[in-house]
Amino acid sequence: MKSLIYIIIPLFLLVSCQENKAENEHHEEENHTEVLENIHISAVQAAALAIKTDTLKQRNLGAAVEVNGTLKVPPQNQAIITSILGANIRKITVGEGEEVKENQVLAYLSHPDLISLQTEYSKVKNELNYLEKEFNRQKKLYEEGVAAGMIFQQAKEKYTSAKEQSKGLEAKLRLLNLNPKSIANGKIHEEIPVVSPINGFIQEINIRTGQFIEPQTAMFELINPKDIYAELKVYEKEAAQISAGQEVSLKLLSAAEQEVEAVVYAVGKAFNSTSKTIQVLAKIENTDFNLFPGTFVKAKIRKEKKPVIALPESAIVEVEDKNYAFIGVENPQGDWEFSAEEVKINPTDEDWVSIQFLREIPKNTLFAYNNAYYLLAEAQKGLGGHDH
């Protein structure tokens, strides 16, 4: 009889333990769900973490080709300013990084040779006026048969030579941004302006006040980022998948959170034998960002696309083989209450995730677009306070 009792008691204890374990697991799941539904984030916390919230939106997602590249601007948006004559830097009126307008004065040059050029033009212009009158007089006399043809021919040659010399000096003066007409009227400029040929920004200044510069010395380098584009390198095996019109997402290494949209507008027809790539050019759509030529970028060229409801990867967390997004409600004081909403995800080749909900979500519901793991950590603080 004793042996029977010994057998029954362990069986009873085993059943009791299993029931308690199941009950504990049930309570744990209930507590876990309850904690994920009440996550309080103060206005101060939300501002410090830069938590982004927005309603659900459709986004074109699909498979993508990942490539690298750099930002560039067209040659017509770049300028190197030189002097056509040797001169001293009298004054510099701008600084590096400064925005300038077309025809804005950047510096002033001075040198005796620049003054000599102006006085030479003034002298030639005066001589030209005299030779023009003499040419017209000899022409009239020749036509009337009074003057010899040789004298007329000499007057014509002198006048033509002076006229050509005058035009050459005028061209030089215009290249120096001087007005020949004012110089012909007696105005001599001691300082010669150096002006910007384009709108843009001063990228480099290669001169100093008082410095003597030789002809063709690069004084200023300017750049206009208005028409900035991405030059991407696509490997040979993926080149056939790229065509004009495909959408591109660009990420700058200097600003990892910054995503820039672009569109492929040109695909190269020749392979680089060294890198085994072709050149793909993409026009940047949203130019509100501060973009700088020469910046390294990572790009994703979308091969196929379809509109889906999506959230950023940073808005999704995985807990016990389930995926969650966070719904947020803001109170009048600016504090937030977040609750986890289970979702089914469809991974893509991008930093966004296509999602499906297990229930219907009201149209204007706000979701956290980042910091999902921080919200989970806040929830687990509450979870840690329960006894299991």
* Tokens of residue 345, six digits: 């995800």
Q: Which amino acid is at 73?
A: V
- Tens digit of pLDDT per residue, the chain (388 long)? 333 333 334 434 444 444 444 455 444 444 444 556 778 999 999 999 999 999 999 887 777 788 999 999 999 999 999 998 899 999 999 999 999 999 999 999 999 999 999 999 999 999 999 998 988 888 888 777 776 778 888 888 999 999 999 999 999 999 888 999 999 888 999 999 999 999 999 999 999 999 999 999 999 999 998 889 999 999 988 888 899 999 898 888 766 667 888 999 999 988 888 888 999 999 998 766 678 888 899 998 887 777 889 999 999 999 888 999 999 999 999 999 999 999 998 766 567 888 999 999 998 999 999 999 999 988 877 554 444 4
Query: 200 and 223 in contact (C-beta within 8 Å)?
Result: yes
Looking at the structure, do residues 138 and 171 belong to the same domain, yes or no? yes
Residues 237 and 294 in one domain: yes
Query: Cα separation of 32 and 385, whole Å?
Result: 11
For 220, other C-beta atoms within 10 Å of its C-beta total 23
Buried/exposed 280-319: b ≥16 CB within 10 Å, e otherwise: bbbbbeeeeeebebebebebbbbbeeeebbbbbebbbbee
How far is Cα of residue 69 from the mean position of the Cα atoms in its chain?
13
Could you give the CA distance from residue 121 to residue 132 in angstroms, rounded to a whole number?
16
- Phi, psi (degrees; rounded to nearest 5) at 141: -65, -40
Considering 248, 282, 303, which residue would you say is the last residue of a domain? 303
Q: Do 275 and 298 sit in the same domain of this protein?
A: yes
User: Which tokens go with 201?
Assistant: 């920004």
Together in a domain, 44 and 145: no
One-letter identity of residue 384 = G
Q: What tokens appear for 253 in the block? A: 């290494």
Residue 200: which region, alpha, beta or left (left: phi > 0; alpha: psi -120 to 50)?
A: left
CATH number of the domain to which 116 belongs: 2.40.50.100
User: Which residue type does 159 have?
Assistant: Y
Can you say whether the dihedral through the CA atoms of 51, 55, 56, 62 is positive or negative? Answer: negative
Q: How far apart are CA 154 and CA 135, in angstroms?
A: 9
Residues 156 and 290 grouped into a single domain: no
In this structure, what are the phi and psi dihedrals at residue 300, rounded to the nearest 5 degrees? -125, 115
Evaluate whether 283 touches 262 at the Cβ level (below 8 Å): yes
Count: domains in the chain: 3
Model pTM? 0.58
Residue 289 belongs to domain spanning: 64-73+228-303
Position 365: which residue type?
Answer: T
In a domain, 242, yes or no: yes
Whichever domain contains 256, its CATH number is 2.40.30.170
Give the 3-state secondary structure of residue 254: coil
Question: 111 and 198 share a domain?
Answer: yes
Is residue 137 one of the residues assigned to a domain? yes
Among candidates 137, 156, 159, 157, which has minimal Cα distance to 147? 137
Bridge partner residues of 251 (DSSP): 259, 298
